[in-house]
Chains A and B, each alone.
Chain A
């Protein structure tokens, strides 16, 4: 009896061991497959970390919703691939008036929504009116709009309260997506359940917590596109499970693969890693309203004790570059001449000696408990500051509590990051450097009224080179004051199967799935 059991156990153990040999390979991509010409057809599965919250364009602020919305609807303009300007989409041309107080957009002919209904200026007027509703989170982008008029079906005139150069970029914002007028006769609630847009993909179904499926819009205005038959977004919070799903073929694209897995993925056959230009900048934030962070010498001392190279190597596994200016290089007017303050512990100690706390001090660093990268970076920063006499105690809070702490100024040191939603420096120049920019200068409470005036002036000028000069001035002032320490610029990271082609996200984060095709 015992021997039989033993034999059975051994057999049971041998079986999996035998299978291990067979299970290792990735997707088999036939060498005969043509990978140069786009092929129509195919169902794409993208595994994402978060669930979208709403598909009504002006409602959500989370990326999962935003990037899905951008596949269902169109905006008047879209960001160019290089992130330097905007390109036609629903609008084929646009012009600012001589008095600079209005913009005229000419709409593309023959565009229909996915249900066949023609898209006209009345739909644009309705959509923008919804987006401008001051209860909506991104209404501030459209706050400068005074009125929207529609002289005819193909023309939209937007009047602004003051000359406003960023307006075309604003029209590329996802919140300004075009929906059917009056929601096509439905209530907003009913529309939220069955959204209709003119974008490359049409809404199919959404099983909350599990998957959201879009199907090809046969009435899409770009001929021959999209190539894919359908796109399914699944929700997989655990990053290991996501990575496993990509490797096993359950998903073809994985958003946010762990930085540590990049090297392994690059060597592996069947999967690739995409590093796409992104506007993401990470910062070490100091609360300038709390002593001793109100002393510029203290801030400079801290900035010089941060070894960005080491951070990039350890946290990002080399996927990023050291940040100088607080404005991302993905946007024009980024001042390249601003270099990060060099890593120099002696200079840091010297600056600290000049400050109000020459013997060092104790402080707390508040970080997001669920963010493994932030925790790693925090421990490195803690160690670094310890070397110049600043004792840092780490405090971990869940994301909601961290956000509340930042907004109420109830923290001393912390991390934050920002990305731009529009292809115009205006949003980030304000959000990152100005007290009035919406986040009290990225929670640093840094106040410089001179900069407010400069930013306002720049938004009214049309000439890009003149605007650039002003934005350079702003960046240099902020760099001298170092209210926050820009750490690194990092790309958007995706891992995807070899069968996926044409996948390139835009600097604002759009997936741009209209250009993606699958090889068999």
Chain B
């Protein structure tokens, strides 16, 4: 496909461009604040902070609530905010805050783990094909194109249909589709690095291809992939949520934000916004944290190059 299909420019064009910036009133991600934060670290801190809080909440969920997120209590259905239930209850009488923190377990863990396989697969494939080129490159990239040419949800939904609903199907379905972006990003990087002097030097020195790929190329291309992984986690949460909208997500009664939003959909017209808005806020908050984290990482990693 088109070579520069990357989401962030990998290398600055030309040498030492920053020295001329002083005149021009532009700066990448610079902003007011104490000096130590100005290196783009605020995103890292705020995003990291948000995510840390969410992960801790998920891990220590049982300590944060006395209610069982799974046990229905029909007599307490659809209650609004109260002292006993700070976020109210859902249509089965379950405490929404409890379902929120336990849901964080499902969603954050699945979204994160579902990034691992595509990450590894995409990075390895991308580096190898970028370095080696030739027919291997052509074949792998065509497969990538084919997967990407499918309307995204069609492939995922069809796969979940075939595999049945539940966690493992979601993992597999997401993995089959997501590796493409990593492969493309990494391959673009590898293509550039392939012709760099240090790689030529390795080759001239007789170091084998595999060693070059894994020892020298991967560590350099991986930063872009890591940055993308952050937004990929966000997208995975979106995928899980949308799968639940179609009824194909995590099997009830295990709480998960997507299921909560889908369950709440039928109550929107009746004026019960709370059921959908609360988990939506959680989704948005986690996406905020991850995006800031990703941005911060991107900046940090770019500077250190």
- Touch test A–B (CB under 8 Å): yes
CA distance A401 to B158 in the complex (A): 12
Q: Does B208 contact A (CB under 8 A)?
A: no
The B interface is mostly helix, strand or loop, or mixed, namely loop
Q: Which of A91-99, A334-342, A375-383 makes up part of the contact surface?
A: A375-383
B265 interfacial contact with A, CB 8 Å: yes
Which of the segments B15-23, B212-220, B269-277 contacts the partner chain? B269-277
Residues in B247-304 with C-beta less than 8 Å from chain A: 247-248, 251-253, 262-263, 265-272
B164 lies within 8 A of chain A by Cβ = yes
Q: Which secondary structure characterizes the binding site on chain A?
A: helix
| Interchain pairs with CB closer than 8 A, number | 85
- Residue B246, interface by CB 8 Å: yes
A375 pairs with B252, CB closer than 8 A: yes
Q: Which residues of the partner chain A approach B247 to less than 8 Å between Cβ atoms?
A: 368-371, 375, 396, 398
| Given A379-B92, A380-B72, A383-B72: A258 and B266 interface contact (C-beta under 8 Å) | yes
A395 within 8 A of B: yes
A192 interface residue (CB < 8 Å to B) = no
Q: List residues 53-91 of chain B with CB under 8 A from any CB of chain A.
A: 71-72, 74, 77-78, 91
Interface assignment of A310: CB less than 8 Å from any CB of chain B: yes
- Which one of A243, A369, A401 has the greatest number of beta carbons of chain B within 10 Å? A369
Q: In the complex, which range does the number of interface residues on chain A fall in?
A: 20 to 34
Closest-CB distance, B259 to chain A (whole angstroms) = 9
CB contact between A314 and one of B91, B164, B252, B271 (< 8 Å): that residue: B91
A394-B253 CB under 8 A given contacts A370-B246, A379-B92: yes
Q: Are A380 and B92 in contact (CB under 8 A)?
A: yes
Q: Is the CB of A258 within 8 A of B269?
A: yes
CB pair B72 A396 closer than 8 Å: no
The answer to whether A240 touches B265, judged by C-beta atoms less than 8 angstroms apart, is yes
Assess the A376–B92 pair: CB atoms within 8 A.
yes
Given contacts A243-B269, A261-B270, contact A382 B253 (CB under 8 A): yes
Q: Is the Cβ of A244 less than 8 Å from the Cβ of B71?
A: no
On whether the beta carbons of B164 and A395 are closer than 8 Å, the reply is yes
Closest to B253 in A: A379
Out of B165, B268, B269, B271, which one reaches A397, CB within 8 Å? Answer: B165
Give complex CA distance A205, B270 in Å.
33
Does A264 lie within 8 Å of B271, measured CB to CB?
A: yes
A401's closest neighbor in chain B, by CB?
A: B161
A381 → chain B, closest Cβ, in Å? 10
Map CB proximity to B onto A389-406 as digits: 1 under 8 Å, 0 otherwise: 000001111100100000
| Chain B proximity of A170: nearest CB distance (Å) | 37
A396 near B270 (CB under 8 angstroms)?
Answer: no
The CA of A378 and the CA of B165, in the complex, are separated in Å by 16
- Whether a CB of chain B sits under 8 angstroms from the CB of A134 is no
In this complex, the member of B71, B91, B269, B270 whose beta carbon has the largest number of chain A beta carbons within 10 angstroms is: B269
Query: Taking the complex as formed, is A372 at the interface, i.e. its CB lies under 8 A from any CB of chain B?
Result: yes
How far does the Cβ of B173 sit from chain A's closest Cβ, in whole Å?
A: 14
- In the complex with contacts A372-B263, A380-B72, A264-B252 CB distance below 8 A: no
Interface hits, B208-254 → A, CB 8 Å: 246-248, 251-253
Check A240 against B248 for contact (C-beta < 8 Å). no
A396 to B160, CA, bound (A): 11
B92 proximity list for chain A (CB < 8 A): 314, 376, 379-380
CA distance A257 to B269 in the complex (A): 9
- Nearest CB of B to A391, in Å: 13
Closest Cβ of chain B: how far from A258's Cβ, in Å? 4
Interface pair B269/A261, CB less than 8 Å apart: yes
Residues in B with CB closer than 8 Å to A258 are 266-267, 269-270
Q: Assess the B246–A240 pair: CB atoms within 8 A.
A: no
List of B residues within 8 angstroms of A264 by Cβ:
270-271
CB neighbours (8 Å) of B74 from chain A are 310, 313-314, 380
Interface residues of A in 306-328 (CB under 8 A from B): 310, 313-314
Chain B residues near A371 (CB, 8 Å)?
247
> Do B252 and A260 touch across chains, with their CB atoms under 8 A apart?
no
- With A395-B164, A397-B164 already in contact, the answer to whether A372 and B253 are too (CB < 8 A) is no
Chain A residues, CB < 8 A from B248: 369, 396, 398
Chain B residues proximal to chain A, CB less than 8 Å: 71-72, 74, 77-78, 91-93, 161, 164-165, 246-248, 251-253, 262-263, 265-272
18 A-B contact pairs sorted by A residue (CB < 8 Å): A239-B265, A240-B265, A243-B270, A247-B269, A258-B266, A258-B267, A260-B91, A260-B272, A261-B267, A264-B271, A310-B74, A314-B74, A314-B92, A369-B247, A369-B248, A372-B263, A380-B72, A398-B247
Top 9 A-B residue pairs of the complex, sorted by shortest distance between their CB atoms:
A369-B247, A243-B269, A261-B270, A314-B74, A258-B266, A370-B247, A396-B165, A310-B74, A264-B270
